[in-house]
Amino acid sequence: MKYYITTPIYYPNSSPHIGTAYTTIAADAMARLRRMKGDEVFFLTGTDENAQKIVRTAEAAGLDPQTYVDGIVEKFKELWRLLDISNDDFIRTTEERHAKVVQQIFTRLYEQGDIYKSEYEGWYCTPCETFWTKNKLVDGRCPNPDCGREVELLKEESYFFRLSKYEQKLLEYIQENPDFIQPASRRNEMVRFIENGLEDLCVSRTTFNWGIKVPFDPKHVVYVWLDALINYISALGYPDGENYEKFWPADVHLIGKDILRFHTIIWPIILMALGIPLPKKVYGHGWFLSREGGKISKSRGNVQDSFELIRRYGSDPIRYFLLREMQAGMDGTYSEDDLVEKLNSDLANDLGNFVSRTLAMIVKYNDGKIPVPGPDTELEAELKNLSSTVGKTVEQKMLDCDPAAALEAIWQFVSQCNKYVDTTAPWNLAKDPAQRERLNTVLYTFAESIRILGIFCAPFMPGVPKKLQPLLGGRDYFRYWDDATRWNVLEPGTVVQKGEPIFPRVDLSQFTEQVQLSEQQDKQSVPEAQPSEAAQMPPLKEEISIDEFAKLDLRVVKVLKAEKVEKTDKLLKLEVEMGGETRTVVSGIAQHYKPEELIGKKVILVANLKPAKLRGILSQGMILAASDQEQLEVLTITKDIPTGAQVK
């Protein structure tokens, strides 16, 4: 079987971010699974470089567009490398192999009468690279709900593409091929849009010259969307390349919902006009939103440096979090807090602990050797059945472009594995020599479950099998998907290693403290050698004015309740009272105070600090404390000053 999957080609107008990364990671997981199933896979990604907005951004950066995009494209490639993206090709629309196909197609469509010359008078949104008619604008601005920016009036000679001619044919195609536009909710949206009538599309520009020239009329450059969509076949060597023959039509174009219209109207009509088959599926997934609610996007400026995130957590946890968080047909929410929480609960705790504790038991009870198993009981049969159900579910869910559901199924297996440990209680079996054979079966089942988990995780977190391989004796057991539903693969006698935890727990505060410290250090001039006592003192911060200080709202509050935050060593959850109002505050003081020591104390709260979620708890402010590296003391008020009083 062959499998061709694509991502959008991204605009290299700024560095890639988490949202962009989602589509690429999801496509990568699908491609990896199909390869593990033995399919011949072609996985394509790339960059969309001939956009007007690129010209503007490059100008603003004082660079020519080519130099500008060359720099950003390197960042995309580097990010994909760091995130273990296994693309087979990377297409850039400034490459000759692409431009020549676009020119060929443009000429052909012109010659057969599907493209004609006329004059365009209307509006253009450069950030969206979209033409709009006046009646579509909202308050004179871009009607795209995620944009709403200013549009520009264009009046220029242009070529037009006869979308209207194909309206009925496209509608019929969509009705007859329900799988073509997915998820189904998005299909209905597109059908309604087409039924409202398609207007011919302006497909060339004359007011700038960055882009692919219309070969027979070179003062025109081809409209960026017509140019970009063609990448899906130019990369295969259309019209006569070997890969084109082999891989077209694509199995899936995976994209975000923002660009569904281009992919399910303009693109199929280009293909219909050329008389070539349509892609089997266009899947428009939701967006990652920030916790405040807006789409994570370059223009909103709410993106976190992806390279820094990888430095902090590594590629696998980021891949896991993004894939698990975006439920089919919905938007997902991204925050670093939630990422850390998932890493600690699902990866360090559920998966990582299962691996460490079971390997430790093989080491302890059988000198690290995988034993010869005895007969199965119902417990083993149950685990085996589940592994084959999960294997099938994951395959289907990934064909449906739903990695979140696939991971959910895998985590049912993880949880069943943990239950198996608790139910079989090998620590009791080990005490009774009569139970030796049963213990061997259990230890053997542990090792097999680890092998199977390695296969299940491989498409989603390619680092996991690499970590497990040396622990299970060094052989690569993780290449074929179907081996996950086969048992008794490991050879008894194989020596396992306990190793380091495959996913160590992470505390977000370790990074925020690091950042604060390095920011402070950055602000200091190079320090002279200092006397030893002063060297202990953290450097002083920049001077501020009294007005800046006055912005801080410090208040006296009373601690009503205090408890440890589950699964953390450092955090206490406090309930404090301030002039009749109660607030929840999460504070990193658990190593210095028992919860009961704080109850009834009057302490000082930074009351106007923006609330932040820590371990899923909304913390509404911060308690003041003095500390050095070893000790910490919460600042308290000993006189009878009422809560709510200001600290100045």
**Separation of alpha carbons 395 and 37, rounded Å:** 9
Provide the sign of the torsion angle of the four alpha carbons 193, 195, 196, 197, taken in this order: positive
**Strand-pair partners of 125:** 130
Instruction: Name the pairing type of β-strands 332-333 and 617-619.
Output: unpaired
545 secondary structure, DSSP code: -
Q: Name 130's Cβ contacts closer than 8 Å, sequence gap at least 6.
A: 124, 142, 144, 225
Peptide bond into 433 cis (omega under 30): no
The nearest distance, CB 173 to ligand ME8, in angstroms, is 20
| 19 vs 454, beta carbon nearer ligand ME8 | 19
Peptide bond into 65 cis (omega under 30): no
**Does 76 sit near ligand ME8 (CB under 6 A)?**
no
The nearest distance, CB 623 to ligand ME8, in angstroms, is 35
The nearest distance, CB 11 to ligand ME8, in angstroms, is 4
User: Using the rule CB under 6 A, which residue among 258, 316, 341, 346 binds ligand ME8?
Assistant: 258
Instruction: Output the 3-class SS for 371-439.
Output: CCCCCCCHHHHHHHHHHHHHHHHHHHHHHCCCHHHHHHHHHHHHHHHHHHHHHHCHHHHCCCHHHHHHH
Binding residues for ligand ME8 restricted to 15-34, rule: CB under 6 A: 19-20, 22-23
**Separation of alpha carbons 256 and 243, rounded Å:** 26
| 253 vs 558, beta carbon nearer ligand ME8 | 253
Binding residues for ligand ME8 restricted to 274-313, rule: CB under 6 A: 287-288, 295-297
| 258 vs 380, beta carbon nearer ligand ME8 | 258
CB neighbour class for 95 (10 Å; exposed up to 12, middle 13-18, buried from 19) = middle
Pull the structure tokens for residue 626. 């003095």
The nearest distance, CB 233 to ligand ME8, in angstroms, is 11
DSSP 202-264: E-EE-S---SPBPTTSTT-EE-HHHHHHTHHHHTTTTTT-HHHHHHPSPSEEEEEGGGHHIII
User: Using the rule CB under 6 A, which residue among 10, 320, 413, 477 binds ligand ME8?
Assistant: 10
**Does 356 sit near ligand ME8 (CB under 6 A)?**
no
State which H helix or E strand residue 563 sits in: strand 554-564
| 186 vs 295, beta carbon nearer ligand ME8 | 295
| 51 vs 458, beta carbon nearer ligand ME8 | 51
**Does 444 sit near ligand ME8 (CB under 6 A)?**
no
**Does 92 sit near ligand ME8 (CB under 6 A)?**
no
**Does 160 sit near ligand ME8 (CB under 6 A)?**
no
User: Using the rule CB under 6 A, which residue among 256, 314, 352, 462 binds ligand ME8?
Assistant: 256
459 secondary structure, DSSP code: T
User: Using the rule CB under 6 A, which residue among 151, 255, 578, 590 binds ligand ME8?
Assistant: 255
Count of residues engaged in binding ligand ME8, rule: CB under 6 A: 21
C-beta nearest to ligand ME8: residue: 19
CB neighbour class for 22 (10 Å; exposed up to 12, middle 13-18, buried from 19) = buried
**Does 50 sit near ligand ME8 (CB under 6 A)?**
no
Work out the number of other CB atoms within 10 angstroms of the CB of residue 593.
18
Per-residue contact track with ligand ME8, 185 to 224, x per CB under 6 A?
A: ----------------------------------------
| 22 vs 503, beta carbon nearer ligand ME8 | 22
Amino acid at 172: E
User: Using the rule CB under 6 A, which residue among 229, 405, 457, 557 binds ligand ME8?
Assistant: 229
Binding residues for ligand ME8 restricted to 363-422, rule: CB under 6 A: none
| 113 vs 294, beta carbon nearer ligand ME8 | 294
The nearest distance, CB 22 to ligand ME8, in angstroms, is 5
Residue 501 and residue 343 in contact, taking contact as beta carbons nearer than 8 Å: no
The nearest distance, CB 139 to ligand ME8, in angstroms, is 24
User: Which positions lie near ligand ME8, rule CB under 6 A?
Assistant: 8-11, 19-20, 22-23, 48, 228-229, 231, 255-256, 258-259, 287-288, 295-297
